[in-house]
Structure 1
């Protein structure tokens, strides 16, 4: 039987999603918990692997097991065995042809910037602090050059293993909530560090160090040698992934409610 679940996690103390030798990862924790419930080895696959320090609001994960357990046993068992900073939000059976990675139509990430002169002693692992004022109107203007199907070679980092640098950004939304600037990006898929590199460029525009058209120049240059900084991992969140309706993967009203709760938290900080 195959199951799919949504999971949120605080990536602060983890060395990313993918299991590795001698370091703690999200995948390792989840597989260890599932294998305990099944009394046999279980491996999981996610919609989009996250790096060290990156968080997830709703990561999508699937696994298969020959061991018969109902949905409630898997769900309750996982949350009882997982660390408190990893929480399964929902779990359900899914058809055998579903794949968390390859069935995904899009993936969405969120980056959070704390834009105030003085840093905060709180939430330091959950945003990137930029002390000088950011002009989000300029950032919005420059972001429009990135919408659509392009070769994003200029926005990948060395070590990228993607077969193609051509990706399709469906939306790039930038807005401010008090001292926080939120950047939401949705694309069919992403290159290594692509979101963090895009945000690094947008920050230079927001600081008026570069004109909005400079982002278009960087895009068209297709040069992996950077003239900007890759922003830190702690401000990045895997937001969610979308799938064909036939899989009925995610209750959109649940996601909207959860997303509103998340932004409400930051608006009242």
Structure 2
């Protein structure tokens, strides 16, 4: 399944309690909501696995999940039945059957994120849940040039949170770009996988460059130094969207989450 959600009212994707335990007050998660809706359609509890966890306040356009069901439902039934039991901020985009060895997380070869910034003197009234406001002038071209130092397989210790539980900080950054369209600046990143807060920490450091507080070469220096304490602040979560994971064509998933043969 592909799950689309506005993460504003959720404490992230991951369920905070085990099945059968009472949920923590005021800490709703997307996984909890999706599993409850799936369980209603299936008539029994359903556990899900996602392609990549998202933090509190982070949105997703196509979060891919997989689950095993002991009951048969056609894809349309899963999509419509589950969506009717979800809050307005969550829906199921599509559902397809997959092979028994498919895994939403481990079968993925890449993940794509976008961070959106509104750069103007006046705060936003529209779409404010899906972008972050920066009132000071920011140089998008300088940030794009600086970001190219992050391409390839490297140690991203300077951009991981101290709470990150990954066994190592090496990740392969396939693409990273920063571009402006009028007052909106988009940061787009694709990597084989991401560390906890990696995207938001990268954006926070790039903004230091964009405001002219540090030279473009500073990003490469941060990467080489591997010291999170000297990097920029963590950017707020509201501007971050998990666009989608990417899988090999053999998985038989829709084009938006399938790697190109090229």
Note the 1:47-126 alignment, pairs <5 A.
47-126=51-130
The aligned length equals 251
CA RMSD of aligned residues (A): 1.5
Partner Cα distance (1:163, 1:250) in 2: 31
What is the Cα deviation at residue 123 of structure 1?
Answer: 2.2
Partner Cα distance (1:251, 1:122) in 2: 31
* 1:113-144 deviation digits (Å, cap 9, x = unpaired): 00001111222221111111111111111011
2:18 is aligned with 1:14: no
What is the Cα deviation at residue 154 of structure 1?
Answer: 0.5
Q: Which residue of 1 aligns with 2:215?
A: 211
Note the 1:37-56 alignment, pairs <5 A.
37-56=41-60
* 1:177-224 deviation digits (Å, cap 9, x = unpaired): 221100110000011100000001110111111100000000000113
Q: Which residue of 2 aligns with 1:142?
A: 146
* 1:211-253 deviation digits (Å, cap 9, x = unpaired): 0000000000011324421000000000111001101212239
TM-score by structure 2 length? 0.93
TM-score by structure 1 length? 0.90
- Partner-residue secondary structure (3-state), 1:175: strand
Gaps of 5+ in 1: 255-269
Gaps of 5+ in 2: 17-22
Partner Cα distance (1:252, 1:232) in 2: 27
Partner Cα distance (1:221, 1:191) in 2: 17
Partner Cα distance (2:171, 2:232) in 1: 20
Partner Cα distance (1:204, 1:147) in 2: 19
Task: Identify which of 198, 210, 224 aligns with 1:194.
Answer: 198
